[in-house]
Amino acid sequence: MIKVENLSKVFVHKPIFEKYHIEFSAPKVCLEAPNGLGKSTLFSIIAGLDRAYAGIVHYDGERLKTPQDKVALASDNIKFPAFLTAKQLLTMTQQSWQCPFPEQLIELLGFSSFLDTTFSALSSGNQKKLQLINALMRQTPYLILDEPSAALDHQSTLHLIEYLEDYQGQILISCHEPKPFFDMGFVPQPLFSS
């Protein structure tokens, strides 16, 4: 369970969150809100990638010094070096986090023939697949997928959903077409309660 308390975050004098509270208690949650209201920002804070905020994030009642040890995030906001190949990027993740090379995920998402392609030469759909594989391979207790089905073909989306069904850990997603995720048990939760 992830609990955010008293969160305040400002972008260029514009408050995104002010004394904001939210709790994610379901194992699979789909965060709902229109674009531009702070879903990606909240995900970056929870994942430990954005430290410029006030407030507290609890992970099963704990405060973590380095949340990225237990939280993996797949997001367009994470910039990969454009000149590295997909295989080089995944190998760096494998070595940094001491996890197995993600052969099964690569096969599942039909990514094998793109391993030797530089990140900048990948299509938006294949960049999304690489983001997902890079996060999923770590098998962290908390997994955050920001718009996981954006730019993915229908078949890859179905394979991803099947894979997530057995994921051991809490999963938070945001998604503009959430029905397939709701069908497999994701619980809708608004970013801001009315």
pLDDT of 156-190, one tens digit each? 999 999 999 999 999 999 998 889 999 989 999 99
Residue 194 pLDDT = 58
> Tokens 């969160």 label which residue?
7
pLDDT in tens, 135-149: 999 999 999 999 999
Binned at pLDDT 50, 70 and 90, residue 24 comes out as very high
The fold for domain 2-190 equals Rossmann fold (3.40.50)
Q: What is the pLDDT of residues 47-96, one digit of tens each?
A: 999 999 999 999 999 999 999 999 999 999 999 999 999 999 999 999 99
Segments making up each domain of the chain, as ranges: 2-190
DSSP the chain: -EEEEEEEEEETTEEEEEEEEEEE-SSEEEEE--TTSSHHHHHHHHTTS----EEEEEETTB--S-GGGTEEEE-TTSPPPTTSBHHHHHHHHHHHHT----HHHHHHTT-GGGTTSBGGGS-HHHHHHHHHHHHHTT--SEEEEESTTTT--HHHHHHHHHHHHT-SSEEEEE-SS-HHHHHTTPEEEESS--
193 pLDDT higher than 80: no
Please give the Cα distance from 1 to 24 (Å, whole number).
6
